[in-house]
Amino acid sequence: MKKVIVIGLDGFEPKIVEAMMARGELPNLMKLREQGGYSRLKTTASAQTPVAWSTFSTGTNPGGHGIFDFLTRDTKTYLPLMALSRYEQKNAFVLPKVVNMRRGTPFWDLLSAKDVDSTIIRIPCAYPPDKVKGRVLSGVGVPDLRGGFGTPTFYSTRKDLHTEQSEKVINVSVENDKVATHIIGPRDPKTKSDHKFDISIEIQKSENKIVITSQGQPDKLEVGLGKWSKWLKVKFKVAMMQSVAGIVRFNLRQIEPHFELYASPVNFETEEPLFPISSPQEYAHDLAMKIGRYYTAGMAEDHDGLNNERFDETSYLDQCRIVLRERRKMMEFELGRFEKGFLFCLFDTPDRLAHMFWRFTEPNHPANRGEDVSRYAKVIEEHYRECDEIVGEAMKHADDETLFIVLSDHGMNSFQRGLNLNTWLYENGFLALKSGFKPGESGDFFQSVDWDKTKAFAMGLGCIFLNRKGREANGIVNEGDVESVQSGIVSGLTGLVDSVRGVVAVRSVARGADVYHGPYANEAPDLVVNFSEGYRVSWDTPLGGVPQGLFADNTKKWGGDHVIDPALASGVLFINRKFRAESPGLVDLAPTILNALGVAKGGAMEGSDLLS
């Protein structure tokens, strides 16, 4: 075949898709189903974006690519780390380098070796970007300028504001309709203070807008009440001789009685990114010249702003539409010049949108607290229709010699209750706290955990690690005792009932050794907890908290999730050719795509061609 086009719809849930198609909706996906076929698509353990897309890329289980969760732990300090990439610095005198922690061989390496072109837009876990014949724009894994998944800033004249998770709050004052403040830039590792970029805000009450004046581009930026502004390019002087560029956009929340302004996380700027985000390096900026500035951070949708209630659902939807629109422009631009080879474009928005709007589909969701849910109850379905339109647009570029694939990495489900996994380990004698401490008195990062008496700890989105001798800094579990500690946890957690609701919260617990194999399996969690629908690890668990009580209601706006038993979190797969429909999995895509383009599959690839 001459061309393979793959459209990724992150978190597109089969149950919703199937119900809508049964009603005759989603015409383009239905057409695709008729032309070729549709199936649910087996996801990875665990069912998370970076894990699943890395399996798509490499055709191996996570043991073959080394990404098991968004987070991993530092075996020396027990601290959580971003699992997707790492800054490595040989010594204090040289510049740090970003190293991609997704290893294995992505199938585009094999295409490049056979001189087949690839265009890959926003693939997760390719930061720094893979070098290919063609072009790559990195997706999930690209940080904001502060080095994290994204830190927005909220400006307010209110003095009683509490800073929530992952945000900065700046208390400002208005004098003569003017506010002097700054954008927060990267943290200076030496002085431990934040670099700043000064802005001056003029409030124009009669026109319900503000004008932001700065040394940035443009020098004057208008922001209308309740509206998302255009991008402002800013520069932080990080040292006497170095500056770092970024882009930020604003949403004006209120002028009176309180002045309130939201600023997005500062994204890398494409002309002068802090670290390369595309391959070849200039591709990111060439693209911006064609379609305009765009979000470069891996997490483009500002879910923090909504979760922290800095803006409302309508503004979040507006922002999701901006992201969707710019992604669509990227896709259309590339499809327009696409002649042969492989083209991939990922749309993250279905996932980020459904996380935040799922609760409106469940009137009894604890996060609703009596709120009228009808206004937003159909948002996810409406969004799925927009995604179907995008599929239709892309399908126009599929001719007789094109293999056309639409898939999602995992589905989406309800998240009503969270399990405090570390508290369960504590109550069952696997995790110990220093004397005098009880659950609820220990902060996150395992602050009060007594490592000399701890056999196992939970971190990330359902991972349990044993505190193994010779591996963890204060490991106490001997090789010979690993099996008994694992069985103890597996038998204790499997079938665990949430006594408040009287339902089973944990369906099973997988042993790392049973589900992962390959060169990086030794980095895998020892156990992975498979939750029932409606459950997930609690908010306090991923960063190593040991709160009081086993279960907690999820009262956050982030009311949907998919990090449950992978058997319940399948994605979708549509292909414009008849394909083998018995349990296709993400591992099968790489061999299928390679074969379609006449390239042999890689030695480590575990799946098989779905078309043969």
Q: Reduce the DSSP state of residue 411 to 3 states and report it.
A: coil
Minimum Å gap between C-beta 94 and other proteins is: 5
| Residues 2-21 as x/- pattern, contact with other proteins by CB under 8 A | --------------------
Minimum Å gap between C-beta 310 and other proteins is: 13
CB nearer to other proteins: pick between 22 and 92: 92
Kindly state whether residue 289 participates in binding other proteins, applying the rule CB under 8 A. Answer: no
> How far are the Cα atoms of 47, 228, 348, 381 from residue 559, in angstroms, in the given order?
17, 24, 17, 16
| Integer Cα distance of 610 and 612 in angstroms | 6
Kindly state whether residue 159 participates in binding other proteins, applying the rule CB under 8 A. Answer: no
Interface segment toward other proteins; rule CB under 8 A; list 56-64, 86-94, 200-208, 274-282: 86-94
Minimum Å gap between C-beta 165 and other proteins is: 4
Which residue among 76, 159, 192, 337 contacts other proteins (CB under 8 A)? 192
Interface segment toward other proteins; rule CB under 8 A; list 202-210, 479-487, 502-510, 557-565: 557-565
Which residue among 90, 162, 337, 369 contacts other proteins (CB under 8 A)? 90
| Integer Cα distance of 573 and 585 in angstroms | 9
Number of chain positions touching other proteins (CB under 8 A): 45
Exposed, middle or buried: residue 15 (CB in 10 Å: 0-12, 13-18, 19+)? middle
| Residues 241-270 as x/- pattern, contact with other proteins by CB under 8 A | xx----------------------x-----
Residue 250's nearest CA partner among 205, 199, 308 is: 199
Which residue among 68, 149, 262, 579 contacts other proteins (CB under 8 A)? 149
Minimum Å gap between C-beta 593 and other proteins is: 29
| Residues 566-595 as x/- pattern, contact with other proteins by CB under 8 A | ------------------------------
Exposed, middle or buried: residue 209 (CB in 10 Å: 0-12, 13-18, 19+)? middle
Kindly state whether residue 22 participates in binding other proteins, applying the rule CB under 8 A. Answer: no
Kindly state whether residue 88 participates in binding other proteins, applying the rule CB under 8 A. Answer: no
| Integer Cα distance of 550 and 353 in angstroms | 29
CB nearer to other proteins: pick between 410 and 511: 410
Whether residue 497 contacts residue 505, with contact meaning beta carbons closer than 8 Å, is answered with: yes
Copy the structure tokens of residue 413.
């489900």
Which residue among 5, 71, 110, 493 contacts other proteins (CB under 8 A)? 71
Which residue among 14, 246, 542, 560 contacts other proteins (CB under 8 A)? 542
CB-side exposure of 127: number of CA atoms within 13 Å? 32
Instruction: Assign residue 529 a region (left: φ > 0; alpha: ψ between -120 and 50; beta: otherwise).
Output: beta
Minimum Å gap between C-beta 343 and other proteins is: 28
Site residues for other proteins, window 449-508 (CB under 8 A)?
Answer: 461
> How far are the Cα atoms of 134, 273, 276, 599, 609 from residue 281, in angstroms, in the given order?
12, 9, 6, 27, 33
Kindly state whether residue 76 participates in binding other proteins, applying the rule CB under 8 A. Answer: no
Site residues for other proteins, window 380-439 (CB under 8 A)?
Answer: none
Site residues for other proteins, window 298-357 (CB under 8 A)?
Answer: 299, 303-304, 307, 352, 355
Minimum Å gap between C-beta 72 and other proteins is: 11
- Placement of tokens 């040292």 in the chain: 239
Copy the structure tokens of residue 115.
């001189």
Whether residue 458 contacts residue 428, with contact meaning beta carbons closer than 8 Å, is answered with: no
Minimum Å gap between C-beta 17 and other proteins is: 23
CB nearer to other proteins: pick between 153 and 251: 153
Interface segment toward other proteins; rule CB under 8 A; list 175-183, 234-242, 387-395, 517-525: 234-242
- Placement of tokens 């007594």 in the chain: 450
Exposure string for 74-96, b = 16+ CB within 10 A, e = fewer = ebeebebebbbbeeeeeeeeeee
DSSP assignment string, 209-222: EEEEEESSBSSEEE
Residues 6 or more apart whose Cβ sits within 8 Å of residue 240 = none
Residue 1's nearest CA partner among 334, 336, 340 is: 340
Minimum Å gap between C-beta 588 and other proteins is: 27
Which residue among 445, 504, 553, 555 contacts other proteins (CB under 8 A)? 445
| Integer Cα distance of 90 and 87 in angstroms | 10
- What does DSSP assign to residue 433? B
**What value does the CA radius of gyration of the chain take, rounded to a whole number of Å?**
24
CB nearer to other proteins: pick between 149 and 360: 149
List contacts with other proteins (CB under 8 A): 70-71, 77, 79-80, 82, 90-95, 143-144, 146-151, 165-166, 187, 190, 192, 239-242, 265, 299, 303-304, 307, 352, 355, 444-445, 461, 539, 542-543, 558, 561, 563
